[in-house]
A and B are shown apart, each in its own frame.
Chain A
């Protein structure tokens, strides 16, 4: 996989001013997005995954600031670009699909108008724009597009609304599509269809996708590469196979073990405690207080990023050459074995 890098995030730091102090939401993350691939960002709520996507789009709320780092896209640093430059990129070259399709659509505007808005702003005349909007609605699988183009969002079901949002995101022919929990509000059967649609559109249009979710099942289906985030940092990064079959960070272990699969019978390995308060991030490794494998140094000093392979990186002291070798929990090892067997059968 030596495709060109289309988006490059380097050492990004974002913080929020809030009552009681400054919340350090994103604390120095770096990753690349290559052309035609899907990078999934996985983490719990408050891990900074949505803030990352908002920073890329330049739609951070007014009490947030990018403290350091760069987001390079096509020679422009999106983290520090002026609004008029962002205006030409946002929605046109980078599309965004939000979690809740009802609140991301304008309830008193016909859906057709919401799709053509992007096109007419690009200078297309209204007739052409309407034809293109119809085509887009057909592409995202909305039946009877001619009739439905004149309807309002409330007349659509949740899945259909999300298809409209995807059509709007695609209207500007973007190179990159950021999907922020696009299926969390949907039923499993509808979710399956939307995920298939995103995969099909990605292949058709050679889109690069940043997919943000907390659902490991969805990640397994969508991602080429995965970034696991915890407390504003990427703790592990690798290809989907590396993260699921050779996870190296204790947080990834815990995340994988805490979710039952269809063969789980043992007691679930819950992660004790709760995520840290990001106004006062803990010293050292933020996961250490919840980590049964934590070493003394984890409470003192932040672990550096260790390279496990060309594509696989993890930030944990356990990988330090001087650290005693620790294996992943046995129940997880058994589960990975089951995954491999199921993969062989399928």
Chain B
């Protein structure tokens, strides 16, 4: 398969949540008409502030929610339709998720072997085979065989996240959805986990949807990045392009807010604010996703599109 095959295609995905009944009924558009695709063996980063819908997008793809509308295709097969036995089986064989909180996401009453090997056991694999594979996977993520019989509370945060990674990887999924996998960890441990994910990605040819808010980490780890704001995807680009030529005013505001470990630039830095009412005039033209240049998409109106093109070329 060529490198550029689209393995995951998300089209017009909407995920709404409702609360209350009758007159008090409210709808929250957590993800509103989001489209993007992820290529085979690439890392696609999703960034945005809390509440922008990045986690919901990931969870809707792996079907922890039932999407309100839109289609999601994985390797050509639609996975956003009604949940059937065969779809559920297909999802669990092909996708896995790594969660943010390594404490909450591991069952405190199960041993590491039970946690990591659960999906294999559910497929009817023999006890010896599960054990063999669990130990091999633990070694791959930097743990040892003796850890297999222990319980989650006996581990440090970084080790727990390694367990979470082992659990996600053991069924040999083709797509990993990593939801803030390092934000709960200390700086020195973050680097260990990022390196581990990078090694596994190379070794197993994984495709990763990487959801995070730390932009330096996302930039380092991702090939392409999608920026979300209030349920909308506002910009998609190669990560270098996004950082060197951000076009959408929200992307600019977000980039200007990342603190950089350099006192020489930090003190002089000037931050950009994003105010949707001030920055856009959508009274006459509706904004849409436009390709400003190949591979660089921005959510904008025709007038803005012309201006962005000029900026890029000028």
Interface residues of A (CB under 8 A from B): 44-45, 187-192, 195-196, 214-221, 223, 240-241, 244-245, 254-256, 258-262, 264-265, 267-272, 274-275, 339-340, 342-344, 346
In Å, the complex CA distance between A99 and B215 comes to 21
Within the complex, what minimum Cβ distance (angstroms) separates A332 from chain B?
Answer: 11
**Is A346 a contact of B264 with CB atoms below 8 Å?**
yes
Of the four ranges (under 10, 10 to 19, 20 to 34, 35 or more), the interface on chain B belongs to 35 or more
Tell me which of B61-69, B252-260, B295-303 binds A: B252-260
Which chain B positions have C-beta within 8 A of A255? Answer: 187-188
**Is B194 a contact of A268 with CB atoms below 8 Å?**
yes
Tell me which of B92-100, B145-153, B268-276 binds A: B268-276
In Å, the complex CA distance between A269 and B194 comes to 10
In Å, the complex CA distance between A272 and B191 comes to 10
Residue in chain B with minimal CB distance to A272: B192
In Å, the complex CA distance between A270 and B186 comes to 11
Asked if B105 CB lies within 8 Å of chain A CBs, one says no
**Is B243 a contact of A342 with CB atoms below 8 Å?**
no
**Is B257 a contact of A342 with CB atoms below 8 Å?**
no
Which chain B positions have C-beta within 8 A of A244? Answer: 261-264
Given A189-B254, A254-B188, does the pair A260, B266 have CB atoms closer than 8 Å? no
**Is B263 a contact of A220 with CB atoms below 8 Å?**
yes
**Is A189 a contact of B253 with CB atoms below 8 Å?**
yes
Asked if B232 CB lies within 8 Å of chain A CBs, one says no
In Å, the complex CA distance between A344 and B220 comes to 24
Q: Could you list 22 examples of A-B contacts with CB < 8 Å?
A: A45-B186, A187-B50, A188-B49, A188-B254, A189-B257, A191-B257, A192-B259, A219-B261, A220-B260, A220-B263, A241-B264, A259-B261, A260-B216, A260-B217, A260-B219, A262-B215, A262-B219, A264-B216, A267-B195, A268-B191, A274-B156, A339-B264
**B interface SS class:** helix
**Is B188 a contact of A188 with CB atoms below 8 Å?**
no
Given A268-B195, A271-B191, A346-B268, does the pair A261, B262 have CB atoms closer than 8 Å? yes
**Is A214 a contact of B262 with CB atoms below 8 Å?**
no
Residue in chain A with minimal CB distance to B47: A188
**Is A220 a contact of B266 with CB atoms below 8 Å?**
yes
**Is A262 a contact of B260 with CB atoms below 8 Å?**
yes
Given A44-B186, A44-B188, A346-B269, does the pair A187, B263 have CB atoms closer than 8 Å? no
Asked if B158 CB lies within 8 Å of chain A CBs, one says yes
Residue in chain B with minimal CB distance to A271: B188
Residue in chain B with minimal CB distance to A192: B257
Within the complex, what minimum Cβ distance (angstroms) separates B194 from chain A?
Answer: 6
Asked if B37 CB lies within 8 Å of chain A CBs, one says no
In Å, the complex CA distance between A339 and B188 comes to 21
Asked if B87 CB lies within 8 Å of chain A CBs, one says no
Residue in chain B with minimal CB distance to A274: B156
Asked if B267 CB lies within 8 Å of chain A CBs, one says yes
Within the complex, what minimum Cβ distance (angstroms) separates A198 from chain B?
Answer: 13
**Is B216 a contact of A188 with CB atoms below 8 Å?**
no
Given A214-B187, A255-B188, A271-B191, does the pair A342, B264 have CB atoms closer than 8 Å? yes
**A interface SS class:** helix
In Å, the complex CA distance between A242 and B73 comes to 52
Which chain B positions have C-beta within 8 A of A267? Answer: 195, 198
**Is A216 a contact of B265 with CB atoms below 8 Å?**
no
Cβ-defined partner of B192 (8 Å) among A187, A219, A270: A270
In Å, the complex CA distance between A214 and B183 comes to 12
How many A-B pairs have beta carbons closer than 8 Å: the answer is 133
**Is B198 a contact of A258 with CB atoms below 8 Å?**
no
**Is B262 a contact of A268 with CB atoms below 8 Å?**
no
In Å, the complex CA distance between A346 and B270 comes to 10
**Is A262 a contact of B188 with CB atoms below 8 Å?**
no
Cβ-defined partner of B220 (8 Å) among A218, A223, A260, A339: A260
In Å, the complex CA distance between A342 and B306 comes to 31
Binary contact readout B270-285 vs A (1 if CB under 8 angstroms, 0 otherwise)? 0100100000000000
Binary contact readout B20-52 vs A (1 if CB under 8 angstroms, 0 otherwise)? 000000000000000000000000000001100
Residue in chain A with minimal CB distance to B271: A192
In Å, the complex CA distance between A215 and B217 comes to 13
Which chain B positions have C-beta within 8 A of A189? Answer: 49, 253-254, 257, 274
Residue in chain B with minimal CB distance to A265: B220
Asked if B119 CB lies within 8 Å of chain A CBs, one says no
Asked if B189 CB lies within 8 Å of chain A CBs, one says yes
Within the complex, what minimum Cβ distance (angstroms) separates B160 from chain A?
Answer: 12
Given A187-B49, A214-B187, A259-B216, does the pair A196, B271 have CB atoms closer than 8 Å? yes
Which chain A positions have C-beta within 8 A of B266? Answer: 217, 220-221
Asked if B71 CB lies within 8 Å of chain A CBs, one says no
In Å, the complex CA distance between A253 and B50 comes to 32
Which chain A positions have C-beta within 8 A of B111? Answer: none
**Is B191 a contact of A264 with CB atoms below 8 Å?**
no
Given A44-B187, A262-B243, does the pair A216, B49 have CB atoms closer than 8 Å? no
Cβ-defined partner of B259 (8 Å) among A221, A258, A271: A221
Which chain A positions have C-beta within 8 A of B256? Answer: 192
In Å, the complex CA distance between A254 and B49 comes to 29
Within the complex, what minimum Cβ distance (angstroms) separates A267 from chain B?
Answer: 6
What are the nearest 9 A-B pairs in CB distance? A343-B264, A217-B259, A270-B191, A271-B188, A260-B220, A187-B49, A258-B191, A216-B261, A192-B257
In Å, the complex CA distance between A275 and B191 comes to 14
In Å, the complex CA distance between A268 and B265 comes to 22
**Is B264 a contact of A269 with CB atoms below 8 Å?**
no
Which chain B positions have C-beta within 8 A of A219? Answer: 261
Residue in chain B with minimal CB distance to A44: B186
8 additional A-B residue pairs with CB within 8 Å, beyond A189-B274, A260-B217:
A44-B188, A214-B186, A217-B261, A220-B263, A259-B187, A259-B190, A259-B216, A269-B191
Residue in chain B with minimal CB distance to A191: B257
